[in-house]
Amino acid sequence: MAVLTGNASSGKTDLQPENYRFLQDCVYKESGIVIDSDKHYLLEARLMPVVKKQQLTSLNDLCNLLRATRTPDLRRQVVEAMTTHETLFFRDPAQYDALRTVLLPQLIEQRRALRSLSFWSAASSSGQEAYSLAMLLREMGLGDWSIRIVGTDLSEQILDRARAGKFLQIEVNRGLPVSYLVKYFNRQGLDWQLKEEVRRMVTFQKLDLRDNLRQLGAFDVVFCRNVLIYFDQQTKKRILEQLRGALAPGGHLLLGGAETGVSAVDWFERVSIGQAVLYRAR
Ligand SMILES: C[S@@+](CC[C@H](N)C(=O)[O-])C[C@H]1O[C@@H](n2cnc3c(N)ncnc32)[C@H](O)[C@@H]1O
């Protein structure tokens, strides 16, 4: 079964077993994320801030409140706390190299007349993935093409951050080449603001990957990285089938490093470019 990973070690807390199962169910229903049965300390570490915010004293109290309340807001806070938003600029550089050296040159050739391309960063988190791509496309001289980059995520909170395009020093230190920082960002106090010319290339919207994924139209390249690991096999399979349907003929899917073993054979052909593995729609 897929695992919600974290640094907290497994072990028991005073959380009652039926409440552990209740929290597992709640997070699964709201997001598809599977929490394995030995993540007591992880639950505690992530959910105690919610407990405190609600002026409660324990996770058991939180479960009682969740059962009693009908407003979705508290459930959202729980799911938000249990979700990993870890991301960085140009994560898995081999994939960006594959895009730069092979995939994009091919696409540019194919679309020379239309001058239009579309990309989807599914599970975009705070936007580094979509913006890395936008900067790469500008570097490749596609600034005046009709480029559609859509970023989607389940979390409205993280999408607000993505839309703002404002990053901490520690975030721009991770994966972003200095030349890109100088060229595409303005210093704003202690933060770095992405320039409008890059920000306007990406639109962000809320989307649950378990919903109908064909509603966004057809894409040339879909990034769906470091999210499938949190789902069970059945959910993964359904999402992969839908992602296949969201790709233009011959379009490519990029998965995260830990997801290359995902069995996508029915709908995709596995393609190696340099050190990167990509999946071409059959
Ligand atoms: C670890 S981040 C991955 C970010 C980026 N793709 C990367 O690889 O750097 C996982 C993201 O998946 C989102 N997520 C979790 N469950 C989701 C779901 N059911 N539908 C859409 N997004 C989901 C989370 O909100 C989180 O922002």
As for how many domains the chain has, the answer is 2
Segment 208-250, tens digit of pLDDT: 999 998 889 899 999 999 999 999 999 999 999 999 999 999 9
Strand bridging mode 247-255 / 191-194: unpaired
Segment 6-33, tens digit of pLDDT: 444 444 568 999 999 999 999 999 999 9
Query: Is 7 contained in some domain?
Result: no
Q: Which atom of ligand 1 is nearest to the CA of 158?
A: 27
Query: Is 88 contained in some domain?
Result: no
Residues 131 and 260 in one domain: yes
For the Cβ of 86 lying below 6 angstroms from any atom of ligand 1, the answer is yes
Please indicate, yes or no, whether the overall pTM of this predicted structure exceeds 0.75: yes
Can you tell me the distance from the alpha carbon of 56 to that of 74, in angstroms, rounded to the nearest whole number?
Answer: 13
Res 5 pLDDT > 70: no
Question: What CATH number corresponds to the domain at position 115?
Answer: 3.40.50.150
Torsion of CA 86, 89, 92, 96, to 10 degrees: 150
Can you tell me the distance from the alpha carbon of 20 to that of 210, in angstroms, rounded to the nearest whole number?
Answer: 24
- Domain that includes residue 76, residue range: 17-82
Query: Is 50 contained in some domain?
Result: yes
Kindly state the DSSP code that residue 103 receives in the 8-state scheme: I
- Which of 88, 125, 236 to mutate to test ligand 1, by most ligand atoms within 8 A of the CB atom? 125
How far apart, in Å, are the Cα atoms of 282 and each of 17, 241, 268, 276, 279? 45, 11, 5, 19, 9
